[in-house]
Amino acid sequence: MTIEILLASKSPFRAALMKNAGLAFKAIEAKIDERAVEATFNGSGATPEDIALVLGEAKALDVSSRYPDALVIGCDQTLSLEDEVFHKPADMDAARRQLLKLSGKTHELNSAVVIARGGAPIWRHVAVARMTMRALDPGFIGRYLAHAGEAALSSVGAYQIEGLGLQLFEKIDGDYFTIVGLPMLPLLAELRKTGAIDG
């Protein structure tokens, strides 16, 4: 019997990773208020990894409650610099301020993936990539954002490593899949273990 795989995400980048890996799946957007879920952590001492896991799990559970027989993959990513957690910039001014804060420093991308079935989580994983941004001149940041356009607002760091954003970095510790937001190798291993894909 074939096990249906659902991706609880509207991200074209995550969908492309799964498609390129040869997975047969459908993307079903989760209906959760991410900021409301995250607000429950205020003052709790939760780590950025914890927040990414809870958000990924909330997405997986939302879709799993509607499709209980499917394996539902939920994922989320947080960007943290020391104690501060960043979100997708609301506009170009926010993107500029964010890049100025990240300039010359090492931040972490915390990518969580959760599999749910029957409305319950059955597997969780978080992978971390450490991203060292080179010292950026404010003028260069302005030119970069003008060239990147609205795409800069679709990523938590105001950059997309698979494109122009690569020019912002001097060092990266972590795999490409973690940076894009879906740790594929552990996910594929778990899907093989469950029998959802051939192994």
The answer to whether position 199 is within a domain reads no
The answer to whether position 133 is within a domain reads yes
Rounded to whole angstroms, the Cα distance separating 142 from 163 reads 17
CB 41 within 8 A of CB 104: no
* Mean pLDDT of the residues in the chain: 94
Please pick, among 76, 91, 137, 173, the residue that the annotation labels catalytic.
76
Rounded to whole angstroms, the Cα distance separating 105 from 134 reads 7
- pLDDT of 43 higher than 80: no
User: Whole-model pTM?
Assistant: 0.91
Residue 123 pairs with which residues in a beta bridge?
A: 115
At residue 159's C-alpha, the angle toward residues 153 and 160, to 5°, is 105
137 in active site:
no
What's the pLDDT tens digit per position in 145-172?
A: 999 999 899 888 999 888 899 999 999 9
pLDDT at 1: 66
Instruction: State which residues form the domain around 55.
Output: 5-194
The answer to whether position 167 is within a domain reads yes
